Structure 1
Amino acid sequence: MNYYFKPTLIIALWATSFVILSLPTPSLQQQSSSFEQSSSNRTSSFSSFDQNGSSFERWSSNQSSSSSFNQTTTFQRSSGGVRLQNALTALQAWKKTFISDPFGFTSNWVGSNVCSYQGVFCAPAPDNANVITVAGIDLNHATISGSLPDKLDLLPDLALLHLSSNKFSGNIPSFFSRCKLLFELDLSNNLFRGPFPSVFLNLPSLKFLDIRYNQFEGVIPPQLFNLKLDALFLNNNKFSSPLPSTIRNSPASVLVVANNNLKGCFPSEIAKMGGTLEEVILMNIGLKGCLPTSIGGLNKATVFDVSFNDLTGTLPESMGRMQSLEQLNVANNKFYGEIPTSICNLPKLENFTYANNYITKEPIQCLMIMDKNDENNCHFWLSRLVTKIFYRVYNAPQVPVPPRRAPPPPSKNYAPYVPVPPRRPPPPPPAPKYAPPHV
């Protein structure tokens, strides 16, 4: 599943928020609120920036019917200005740090028209609609080797920065502190290292943060969960501190912290996120203890994965209240006892994995789940046998039974049956006559 927001929508919201709010027309203010509401919804598909600027031009023409605005926009785009000049300085300084660009992704980063650079998106500035500035950069999957120079602080109007699947390395520079409008930040699948970048904690507009598959280490700061993030990906790093109790403050709908070395007990405070949390993946982070009964409060969760940990105890009956659950994975732990019937009765549950535990019994209702993995548990052999037989009978193909054929009609030459009397036994032989003995 892709969690990106559509870049054109983000840039549109970013570029018009201040302008629309400054206008007195009520309809325009209502339009601004609809933009804000639509931007809060995640889209399932991610489209790259339109490199020739056609998306921007279509959007700007829809947002303003004033020809003078379009003329000013064209003039600012072609002639530049202080902000575009600063952007040119920043991007050229950044390009000089590139060690390799195997696919020539930035080969057209020449000349002064930065809005024509591949992966660079321009939009009207939020504080002045007549000024064009660099609002987004998308270098996803470019496999560029390099670093992030301090000169990038000349891009304070960035709303979106996607650098996923490259080979950028080093520590995160402090220039991000100037990016107060940054909405989406994706640094995943790179070679960044060091502690969690504290500069990210001072980005008031940030909604999407993805730093997975890097080499960040140390403590996950408690302040991180006070940000108004919608999606947070910290997985596949080297973080080594337990999840803080402030996790209850996060309004995130997606939380992925898998494949770290956090250890500690399962954070019961996560149940406080029931109003927003839809997907939570805490796989392979060294969790211990039991699942709290309060976990049933995650009534909006569709994905719940705590596999490959050291959790124990029985699965709480309260998990049957997670009515939106579609995928549940508790495999490779130390859970024991019986699977609660309430879990297998969840109306939307399609995938249930609890392999490699010490489960002793599963209810028959679990057989109705579309995709289930219960291998390597401690099922009683009789319960297991009954389950398999029931499963085979329940899933056996239905073969129609042919109708019973009627007996043939009696023949015309039919003779009634006459019983044969029993045969009389033969009479006994006569007794022999007495013969006197010879003298």
Structure 2
Amino acid sequence: MPSPRRSPRTRGVARHGRLRRRRPVGSLLTGLAAALAVLLVSGASLSAIAARQLTSSVTSVALGNETSVPEEGIGAMPGGANVLLIGSDQRDPGSAVDAGVVDGVRNDVNILVHLSEDHSQLTAVSFPRDLMIDRPACTGDDGTAHPAAAYQQFNSLYELGGVSCTVAAVEGLTGLSVYYAGMITFDGVIEMSNALGGVDVCVTQRIRDTDTGLDLSAGTHSLQGKDALEFLRTRHGVGDGSDLARISSQQVFLSSMMRKIISGGTLGSPTTLYKLASAALGNMTLSTSLSSPDTLVSLALALKDLTPADIVFVQYPVVDDPDQAGRVVPSEADAATLEAALQADQSFTLGDDAAGRGSTVDESVPAPEAAAPPAETSAPEAGATAPATKGAPTATTPATTTLPSTITGQTAAESTCSVGSSRG
């Protein structure tokens, strides 16, 4: 039977009790879109002075690994750069969000962003909130030391130790070094969607979710404000009602948002860009390593030539937890394949049948024009290391590989629809 993989760090005592259940406050994250928008603003359209203005009041936290950050910097990091983006259910006084009962702050959305060393691909890996893992020992944002513990739910990490402990867990799970991180709240999503003037999403059939208050008819809708947030939060209204369906439905929104930011003229409007960046940064906490204006500008310059086809959204591979209904554990073989590709800084494409539980191809939109077929290669083996040099593909440094279709996701260039469900 699959089970959570053990961290190489010291193990703690297993705790099998269920976490206290709440009315689902759901998950958002346009954190990826938020971060990319901020970075594109800083480097592509506004000066470093504007970046300093935008970051002057940003809250920052230390991850504890600052002394290990490579000197090359985020835009030239050997083997690519990794940034963890966290979407929390935090609501500050005066928040526009009034749904749900708050009994703690959870990291309900967790996306690991990997920017390849040659800046040709950006991969965004979503970790399910219901994923059970062995938590490594970590030091929280407030300096409190937390011992390792087995069989912990992923979305309990932020409440335990903030950004730092969430980063430590992702490093232990994937074998990747994560030197940069950011957290965004519900209100940041509302303000960002307003700054963009809405994001178009396609729905195959009615979505009705009494938990979030969302009620959308079949068709295409331009969502902003609380409507956008309700769409991102909805779980019972899409697919089979699982968190995995919600992740793929969120990818529908994020892909459309990225197409609008990159291809829809948004980058040509300094006013819109500044509003977008201000909305995101005003509702984010950044690691000290990421909060520097120079770092943001450096990353922006590394991202500026990406197209929607270069942005790949992937769900971290999981299977149902055999010990607890409603929870999931890593799918050992697929997780190892994905992690090996990221560790080796390997460019990859997704299989033909990679749609997730909550999305499907939008048949009304022509498929994006395919690039020239890559040389036939196989996925790297688990534990593979990044190539020492970049350049033309060789037998040991293949250009591109295709992941198994059991690893789900999509590129930002693909037009997809959320699979509605009235079960909510």
Q: TM-score range by the shorter chain?
A: under 0.3
TM-score normalised over the length of structure 1: 0.23
TM-score by length of structure 2 reads 0.23
